[in-house]
């Protein structure tokens, strides 16, 4: 009898984390690798936030906190929702956890019974289906093609809803596409949900602040207040404040769901780190002006990479509104042959080829549920991005033969 539980067999390790580990290992061997697989800003956490953490240590804020987070932080989260999204929540409708990831995990654990369905538009963030599987739920995928900017359309949503649907999950701006929903696009989706009172909406707004060219971010609870008692809005400080290592995420929503998530957390991690909570408090309440500079930098990099990639024969990308990702099509290289005689049959083969023969690490589209694509993160210096795109261009140039017809 195996010591390992069956549930371990039903999930995969995060492909993005294992790919970045692989790229790190090659770098450690002395190989010249440019990693475009990273899922975190390359900026440092702002000093005023680090100072708040140091003060918390000096002041002895080193003990357990209430399970759903300190009252100050939960109040600051309420203030954030009012300030940024014009949403009214009370502190007991907020739960803080160890990263947006734990919050999502807790939400599925707290709400799914075996066989309950979760609608996940593809491409999706790699962890959603495995988290659903860990909670014994069933993922129902809807492919959202590049021609729709990878966004979910109301008719497709309607067709996917069954009696067993418990959640639709929406992530805007998206990892991996960077696409963000406009007010009208969200309204068309929330209109569908109004017709199905048993379906709840899980909203992952972790990239909220990273939108470019004046794009106006909106969140579904703002767009359709009549759904307030069916919407769980998840956010965190990882991406906007360059705090991925601090591990603070939070959710706001109906009291029964929040309480259930807190109960689950009380039997796993108890509370998020007290020091990180103090840092997150400063992130949400303190100076926000640095954000504009970061956004300007990201926008310039996005435009740089978009231009360079779209100039490559064989690669095509749509312009994303936010996050720091581009989801590029590699349909025109599928079926071609490398110099060493290997046929590129899938987007995974293409990603392996880029890493092994050209020193560029990207994540293949299949990891996000849509092929043939690859995801690039542009949270790197312009010099490295230019170098990486030149390598991708060379890699494509060196391929020979005809591209296979890809549906």
User: Which of 236, 359, 365, 369 touches ligand PLP by CB under 6 A?
Assistant: 236
Tell whether residue 14 is a contact of ligand PLP (CB under 6 A). no
Query: In what helix (H) or strand (E) does residue 16 lie, and over which residues does it extend?
Result: helix 15-28
Q: Tokens 């009214």 identify what position?
A: 88
Tell whether residue 150 is a contact of ligand PLP (CB under 6 A). no
Tell whether residue 390 is a contact of ligand PLP (CB under 6 A). no
Q: Judged by CB, which is closer to ligand PLP: 24, or 342?
A: 24
Q: Tokens 């995990």 identify what position?
A: 105
Cis peptide before 123 (omega within 30 of 0): yes
User: Which of 132, 133, 166, 204 touches ligand PLP by CB under 6 A?
Assistant: 204
Tell whether residue 269 is a contact of ligand PLP (CB under 6 A). no
Could you tell me if 271 and 242 are in contact, meaning their C-beta atoms sit under 8 angstroms apart?
no
CB of 365 to ligand PLP, least distance (A): 15
CB of 279 to ligand PLP, least distance (A): 13
Distance between CA 299 and CA 304 in Å, rounded?
9
- In three-state secondary structure terms, 59 is coil
The residue among 248, 245, 305, 291 whose CA lies nearest residue 272 is 248
Could you tell me if 340 and 353 are in contact, meaning their C-beta atoms sit under 8 angstroms apart?
no
Tell whether residue 178 is a contact of ligand PLP (CB under 6 A). no
User: Which of 100, 365, 369, 372 touches ligand PLP by CB under 6 A?
Assistant: 100
The residue among 12, 22, 41, 9 whose CA lies nearest residue 363 is 22
Size of the site for ligand PLP (CB under 6 A): 13
Could you tell me if 315 and 309 are in contact, meaning their C-beta atoms sit under 8 angstroms apart?
yes
Q: Judged by CB, which is closer to ligand PLP: 99, or 121?
A: 99
Tell whether residue 120 is a contact of ligand PLP (CB under 6 A). no
User: Which of 81, 108, 125, 250 touches ligand PLP by CB under 6 A?
Assistant: 125
End-to-end Cα spacing for the chain: 44
Helix axes 274-285, 47-58, angle to 10 degrees: 140
Could you tell me if 334 and 344 are in contact, meaning their C-beta atoms sit under 8 angstroms apart?
yes
Cis peptide before 173 (omega within 30 of 0): yes
User: Which of 171, 172, 361, 371 touches ligand PLP by CB under 6 A?
Assistant: 171
Q: Judged by CB, which is closer to ligand PLP: 170, or 392?
A: 170
101 is written with which tokens?
Answer: 């990831």
Q: Judged by CB, which is closer to ligand PLP: 170, or 223?
A: 170
Tell whether residue 369 is a contact of ligand PLP (CB under 6 A). no
Tell whether residue 219 is a contact of ligand PLP (CB under 6 A). no
User: Which of 33, 87, 206, 211 touches ligand PLP by CB under 6 A?
Assistant: 206
Q: Which residue has its beta carbon closest to ligand PLP?
A: 99
Distance between CA 227 and CA 405 in Å, rounded?
43
Q: Which of residues 307-366 bind ligand PLP (CB under 6 A)?
A: none
User: Which of 99, 178, 253, 314 touches ligand PLP by CB under 6 A?
Assistant: 99
CB of 248 to ligand PLP, least distance (A): 7
Tell whether residue 249 is a contact of ligand PLP (CB under 6 A). yes
CB of 245 to ligand PLP, least distance (A): 9
Q: Judged by CB, which is closer to ligand PLP: 67, or 242?
A: 242
Q: In what order do the strands lie in the sheet with 325-329?
A: 316-317, 325-329, 373-377, 363-364
Tell whether residue 144 is a contact of ligand PLP (CB under 6 A). no
Query: In what helix (H) or strand (E) does residue 297 lie, and over which residues does it extend?
Result: helix 290-310
Q: Residue 213: which region, alpha, beta or left (left: phi > 0; alpha: psi -120 to 50)?
A: left
Residue 147 DSSP symbol: G
| Contact flags string 35-74 toward ligand PLP, x per CB under 6 A | ----x-----------------------------------
Distance between CA 109 and CA 135 in Å, rounded?
5
Tell whether residue 129 is a contact of ligand PLP (CB under 6 A). no
Q: Judged by CB, which is closer to ligand PLP: 39, or 46?
A: 39
- Contact positions vs ligand PLP (CB under 6 A): 39, 99-101, 125, 171, 175, 204, 206, 236, 238, 244, 249
């Amino acid at each position: 009898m195996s010591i390992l539980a069956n549930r371990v067999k039903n999930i995969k390790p995060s492909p993005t984390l294992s790919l970045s580990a692989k790229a790190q290992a090659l770098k450690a061997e002395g190989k010249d690798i440019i990693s475009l697989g990273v899922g975190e800003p390359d900026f440092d956490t702002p000093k005023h936030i680090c100072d708040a953490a140091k003060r918390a240590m000096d002041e002895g804020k080193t003990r357990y906190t209430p399970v759903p987070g300190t009252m100050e932080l939960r109040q600051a989260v309420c203030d954030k929702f009012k300030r940024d999204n014009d949403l009214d929540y009370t502190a007991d409708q907020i739960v803080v956890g160890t990263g947006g990831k734990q919050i999502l995990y807790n939400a599925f654990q707290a709400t799914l019974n075996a066989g309950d369905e979760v609608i996940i538009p593809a491409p999706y963030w790699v962890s959603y289906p495995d988290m659903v599987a860990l909670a014994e739920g069933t993922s129902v995928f809807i492919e959202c093609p590049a021609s729709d900017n990878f966004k979910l359309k109301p008719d497709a949503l309607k067709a996917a809803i069954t009696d067993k649907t418990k959640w639709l999950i929406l992530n805007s701006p998206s990892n991996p596409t960077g696409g963000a929903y406009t007010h009208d696009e969200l309204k068309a989706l929330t209109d569908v949900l109004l017709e199905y009172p048993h379906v709840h909406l899980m909203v992952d707004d972790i990239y909220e602040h990273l939108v470019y060219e004046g794009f106006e971010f909106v969140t579904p609870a703002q767009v359709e207040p009549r759904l307030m008692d069916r919407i769980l809005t998840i956010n965190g400080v990882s991406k906007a404040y360059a705090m991925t290592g601090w591990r603070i995420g939070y959710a706001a929503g109906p009291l029964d769901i929040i309480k259930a998530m807190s109960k689950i957390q009380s039997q796993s991690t108890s509370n998020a780190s007290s020091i990180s909570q103090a840092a997150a408090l400063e992130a949400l309440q303190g100076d926000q002006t640095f954000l504009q500079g970061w956004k300007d930098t990201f926008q310039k990099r996005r435009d740089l990479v978009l231009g360079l990639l779209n100039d490559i024969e064989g690669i095509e990308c749509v312009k994303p509104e936010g996050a720091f990702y581009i989801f590029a099509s590699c349909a025109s290289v599928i079926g071609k042959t490398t110099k060493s005689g290997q046929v590129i049959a899938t987007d995974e083969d293409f990603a392996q080829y880029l890493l092994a023969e050209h020193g560029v690490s990207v994540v293949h589209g299949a990891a996000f549920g849509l092929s043939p694509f690859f995801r690039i993160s542009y949270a790197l210096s312009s010099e490295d991005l230019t170098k990486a795109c030149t390598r991708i261009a060379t890699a494509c140039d060196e391929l020979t033969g005809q591209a296979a017809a890809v549906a």
